[in-house]
Structure 1
Amino acid sequence: MRVGVIGLSRGLHLAGWLRRMGVTVALACDRDAARRHAAREALPGTVLVDRWQDLLDHPLDGVVLANDFDAHAPLALAFLEQGVHVLSECAACTDENEGRQLIDAAERSSATYSFAENFVHHPHIRLIRQAAADGELGRITLIEADYLHGMAPQAVDALIGDPGSWRGRIAPTAYCTHTVSPVLAVTDAWPVEVTAFPVDEHRPRDAVVLTVRLSTGALAVTRHGFLQGEPDSHWSWLSARGTRGLAESVRAPGERSWSVRLRSEAWTRADGSAHEEEREAPPLTLAGRPVARRDEGTVRILEGFRATVEGGAPPLIPVRPAVAASLAGVAGARSLENGSQPVRVPDCAPPRPHGIGRTGRKTG
């Protein structure tokens, strides 16, 4: 399998894992000469170029898009048109028009579109997904997710204050897929309506809260940005409350932050006693060696992409959920602009038979 990688910041990390999996990273691209120079030692034998269009002239099975956060869709469209499988980093599109074009292109192409949202496949999210799928929680009614960084204000300003950088030009709600995508995966739902709030009116770009009404009727509350007090772990926390119990990732430093606390209420159990336990996901190995917990989601995404390209497996996260999660952030930006008024999210669910509603229930 021959792939190209575009963007050599996050992309260099992904390229390294692909090489460890035995995938040939044939070409890599970055506009920045210093990044290309740094990649020469890490990617021996890889052709390094400064224009992504150059990759279109080479025989590739797939391409990894790790360029600027808000510039993935045009590249994905070009490679899908050529029949090259696409793995795109964690913003699929910047508006509804791009999202519709991307869905159409992916469903028309002989190749596939996969979303590189690694947080969906982190150990704690996988444990909660399994508990939900097994019916342990009942019907999920409230789900909360965090993607937060504790940083000094001057460090935050340096990161998001440069309008020439993608971090400085995106809306504060845009980088929401590390929270919204896990929510959609656990609930098997689509976002319907978003209301967004700045956390601190004195520094409104630092952190935001999204309240998202889901197609199942549940409510999601997601927080992302820069807030103090998170453990030194992976910046991700998720809690799912259902009609029968609760599953939430453990807020703790170190390895316990990848574990999950489950509680079953007394009235749901034959012995009439509430039950709590802490679960830990089995470790992931690659070529017989353990993968660090923080890298498990990335490795699973890349392994899934290889299975899609080489074996025809369905994408782990296909185009419609990718676009839906991204458009939740777009709707959130509009909500902020309108004084935190609710904004509908464009419907990205697959077409349904006549008489079946968005949740999958009959409407007649």
Structure 2
Amino acid sequence: MQIGNNNAVIRIGIVGYKRGQSFQKSPDVLGFKLVAVCDQDADRLKNVQAMEGVATYTEYDKFLEHDMDAVILANYFHQHAPFAIKALRAGKHVLSETTACKTIQEGVELIRTVEQTGKVYLLAENYAYIRYNQEMKRLYQNGTIGEVRYAIGEYNHTFSKDQALGVAPGPDHWRNHIASTHYSTHAIAPLMYITDTMPVKVNALSIADPDQEHHSVRRGDPGSVILMRMNNGAVFQIFGKNLSGGGTYYRLHGTRGMMENVRKSPQQLVHVSHAPWELQPGESEDMVYTPEYPFHAEIAKNAGHGGGDFWTMYYFGEAIRSGEQPYLNVYRGVAMSIVGILAWKSALEDGAPYDVPDLSKEEVRKLHERDDWSPWPEDRRPGQPFPSIRGEIKPTDEMVAYANRYWAEKGIKVNFNSLP
């Protein structure tokens, strides 16, 4: 299938079926057809094999030889870039789960590969498309609050001890080694999407737990606060991700008003506020309402992540058929991903500021093409950081024993969704 063909069905393959299966639920209106799945879990593949016309693979290179148009990457968080690069070079369009890259070096190679191949790349940052964020984008584009000056993005996902072990099976699971600033795109992307701004400078503080080793096998800190200077001069504050009191929240202060989603609102309410002297004809000082999706409302309401899983697939298909890269393209995807990387550098220096390089420019990319600085354990060597401001954290023997009992009782397999 050639990019820009508006009629053909888009044949897709999924890597990492546990998370990836949500994307196959996209309705026929999107024109996708699942033809191949790649996973290392034999039991999961047995279920896939019962599906008519879907091939299964455990080897990624063999999977890429399958006759298909696009690949959906839902493998481990920090493994997306190498898989995306291989898929693009194999002639496939790519929809990649977050994050886009684990190092700036990977980001440089990913951008170059998209430019060289001409294939579509979309970062599947579904929180940008939650109903209230789409509404706030519409309001912002209409000038409802003027130009943004300050914004807050929060994505905080709290877990009990057992829940944390359940989503991170095994001591080597990526969730047990992630730095606190790295999982930040769910908080960053909606603000960038709403305001169409880009980060140019970043600094951060990490929030450590001095008793973590006694109640967790996690090696990274539970939370962080990131400040970003945007290219219009605004300041965005980003908070997350595993502290007590979970939820998502976005607030934007403009030159003539404020808007936010209402916390803990199952109706996905939007709140818009103006001072009396800021009002224009037809506006109210204070308004709270339930917005609607711009279209495909009934379908989107049934999709995961507030409809975001539907919209990422919708815009992926639209990009492939139109021949135009999507809004959440490789440049924005890499930019918001390297914010987390640079923020970790800042946190280790107690908030030192770092410039965010503009990797859309090749002359800038050349300056960063060897930057493999990384807190991930597979990259550990002298000069590389740990994922906590406390240094190397070693869980207690009691906590390790508790974790092993939990995993054994649940029959959880280690590394069930990770590919070599």
Q: Is the 8 A contact 1:320 1:350 kept in 2?
A: no
Q: Tell me how far apart the structure 2 counterparts of residues 246 and 195 of structure 1 sit (CA, whole Å).
A: 24
Match of 2:249 among 237, 250, 261: 237
TM-fit CA distance, 1:157: 5.8
Q: Is the 8 A contact 1:190 1:349 kept in 2?
A: no
1:262 and 2:279 correspond:
no
CA change 1:39–1:253 in 2 (3 A) is farther
Q: Is the 8 A contact 1:173 1:208 kept in 2?
A: yes
TM-fit CA distance, 1:208: 1.3
1:9 maps to a residue whose letter is K
Match of 1:222 among 238, 254, 272: 238
SS in 1 for 2:194: helix
TM-fit CA distance, 1:236: 2.0
Q: Is the 8 A contact 2:22 2:309 kept in 1?
A: no
SS in 1 for 2:326: coil
Q: Is the 8 A contact 1:159 1:168 kept in 2?
A: no
Q: Is the 8 A contact 2:135 2:292 kept in 1?
A: no
The residue number in structure 2 matching 1:357 is none
Q: Is the 8 A contact 1:18 1:24 kept in 2?
A: no
CA change 1:215–1:165 in 2 (3 A) is same
CA change 1:139–1:152 in 2 (3 A) is same
TM-fit CA distance, 1:261: 0.2
TM-fit CA distance, 1:201: 4.3
Q: Tell me how far apart the structure 1 counterparts of residues 121 and 30 of structure 2 sit (CA, whole Å).
A: 20
Q: Map of 1:164-203 to 2, 5 A cutoff?
A: 164-202=172-210, 203=212
Q: Relative contact order, CA 8 A, sep 6+: which one is greater? A: 2
Tell me the alpha carbon deviations over residues 98-124 of structure 1, each in whole angstroms, 9 at most, x when there is no partner. 111111111121311111111111111
1:226 maps to a residue whose letter is N
The residue number in structure 2 matching 1:325 is 336
Ranges of 4+ aligned residues in structure 1 off by more than 6 Å: 271-274
The residue number in structure 1 matching 2:115 is 107
Tell me the alpha carbon deviations over residues 202-251 of structure 1, each in whole angstroms, 9 at most, x when there is no partner. 25711111111112111111111122334xxxx32100001100010011
1:220 maps to a residue whose letter is F
1:292 and 2:308 correspond:
no
- Quote the RMSD (CA, aligned, Å): 2.6
Q: Map of 1:59-138 to 2, 5 A cutoff?
A: 59-138=67-146
CA change 1:264–1:49 in 2 (3 A) is same
1:348 and 2:364 correspond:
no
Q: Tell me how far apart the structure 1 counterparts of residues 254 and 222 of structure 2 sit (CA, whole Å).
A: 31
Match of 1:37 among 27, 43, 46: 46
The residue number in structure 1 matching 2:288 is 278
Q: Is the 8 A contact 2:202 2:343 kept in 1?
A: yes
Q: Tell me how far apart the structure 1 counterparts of residues 306 and 63 of structure 2 sit (CA, whole Å).
A: 27
Match of 1:11 among 20, 43, 54: 20
The residue number in structure 1 matching 2:348 is 337
SS in 2 for 1:331: helix
The residue number in structure 2 matching 1:359 is none
The residue number in structure 1 matching 2:164 is 156
TM-fit CA distance, 1:253: 3.8
TM-fit CA distance, 1:200: 4.4
Tell me the number of residue pairs that the alignment of Structure 1 and Structure 2 aligns: 345
1:45 maps to a residue whose letter is G
Deviates most, 109-118 or 9-18: 9-18
Q: Is the 8 A contact 2:300 2:307 kept in 1?
A: no
- Structure 1 residue runs of 5 or longer lacking an equivalent are 353-364
Q: Is the 8 A contact 1:86 1:113 kept in 2?
A: yes
1:169 maps to a residue whose letter is H
The residue number in structure 2 matching 1:48 is 56
SS in 2 for 1:254: coil
- Percent identity, aligned pairs only, is 27
Q: Tell me how far apart the structure 2 counterparts of residues 296 and 198 of structure 1 sit (CA, whole Å).
A: 31
Q: Tell me how far apart the structure 1 counterparts of residues 336 and 281 of structure 2 sit (CA, whole Å).
A: 41
Q: Tell me how far apart the structure 2 counterparts of residues 280 and 213 of structure 1 sit (CA, whole Å).
A: 31
The residue number in structure 1 matching 2:222 is 206
Q: Tell me how far apart the structure 2 counterparts of residues 289 and 6 of structure 1 sit (CA, whole Å).
A: 24
Deviates most, 19-28 or 266-275: 266-275
Q: TM-score, normalised by structure 2?
A: 0.75
TM-fit CA distance, 1:306: 1.2
TM-fit CA distance, 1:17: 2.4
Q: TM-score, normalised by structure 1?
A: 0.86
TM-fit CA distance, 1:153: 4.3
TM-fit CA distance, 1:270: 5.2
